[in-house]
Structures are given as structure tokens and as C-alpha cells.
Amino acid sequence: MLLRPNQPKFRKQRKGKLNRIETKSIDLEFGSIGLKSTGHGRITARQIEAARQTITRHIKRKGRVWIRIFPDVPVSQKPTEIRMGKGKGAVSFWAAKVSPGKILFEIEGVPIKMALKALKSGSMKLPITAKIIQRG
């Protein structure tokens, strides 16, 4: 099941900028090992779900996985072969804006080697660069 907001206040949004460095969720809060972004970008709900599935498959459904990003930005798209004008297109998918330093995923309760392999394979599913960090 893909992540999306239940009832957004506004149906469509402008694109916005992604030129800041994260200051809020930069430390591990729940798990002992995590995936931290090192680049800017928009991660779609499908990409988050693909990374989550890969991580849980590698840890063999042991331990616990936390997803620290949520796709709350609606991305609209006009259909193909439609002339310009006639307003903004319908919402095509939901995305999460990610800045450098943001924690994406956290894992707890599995051996370090298994967690490293899981997060590495999970980061391959994401369109931005990320690094693996450990507590302490």
C-alpha cells in the first residue's frame, strides 16, 4: 500500500525549491543504524515502498524498521499529447522532499552485518545518494 496523506488541506501545490540543508531530523531517534541522505531530491511514494520492501526482505522480517520520511507533496502532471494551457494537470503521484542530512530509514534488532546489507540494497532503490550511519 502506497503512502499518501488522508485529507490534504490543498489539492495541488507548487514545485518549490530544494536548496537547504536539513536541521531537524538529522540524528537517529529510534533505531541503532540508519540511512542518511547526502543529496537533494524528491522521493516518490513508490520509491519509499520499494526501499522498505527491500530492507524488510533482507532482514528477514526480524527486528524493526522505521520510515522517517512521508510523501506529502502532490505532484501534478498533464496527460501526454495535450495542448498547453487549460489549467494545471491532475495529481499524478505523491512525493517527499529530501535535503542533505535527513534520516530516511532506521533499523533496530538485527545484527550489524545484516542491517548494513539491507540498508545498502534499500538505498539502491532511491534516486538520491545516501550513507549508512550508526549510533555512537
Q: Is residue 46 part of a domain?
A: yes
Asked if residue 40 is part of any domain, the answer here is: yes
Residue 125 is assigned to a structural domain of this protein = yes
CB–CB of 47/95 below 8 Å? no
26 within some domain: no
Residue 12 lies in a domain: no
In a domain, 28, yes or no: no
CA-wise closest residue to 108 among 55, 72, 69? 55
Sequential DSSP letters for 94-118: EEEEE-TT-EEEEEESS-HHHHHHH
The model's confidence at residue 136, banded by pLDDT at 50, 70 and 90, is confident
CATH number for the domain including 129?
3.90.1170.10
Distance CA(66)–CA(133), nearest Å, equals 14
Q: Number of folded domains in the chain?
A: 1
Domain membership flag for residue 38: yes
Contact 84, 6 (CB under 8 A): no
- Residues 6+ positions from 89 with CB-CB distance below 8 Å: 76, 77, 78, 79
- pLDDT value of residue 42: 96
Domain limits for position 115: 33-76+89-134
Q: Which residue has the cell 527486528?
A: 63
Task: Identify whether 27 is part of a domain.
Answer: no
pTM over 0.85: yes
Q: Give me the pLDDT at residue 61, please.
A: 84
Q: What is the pLDDT of residue 1?
A: 72
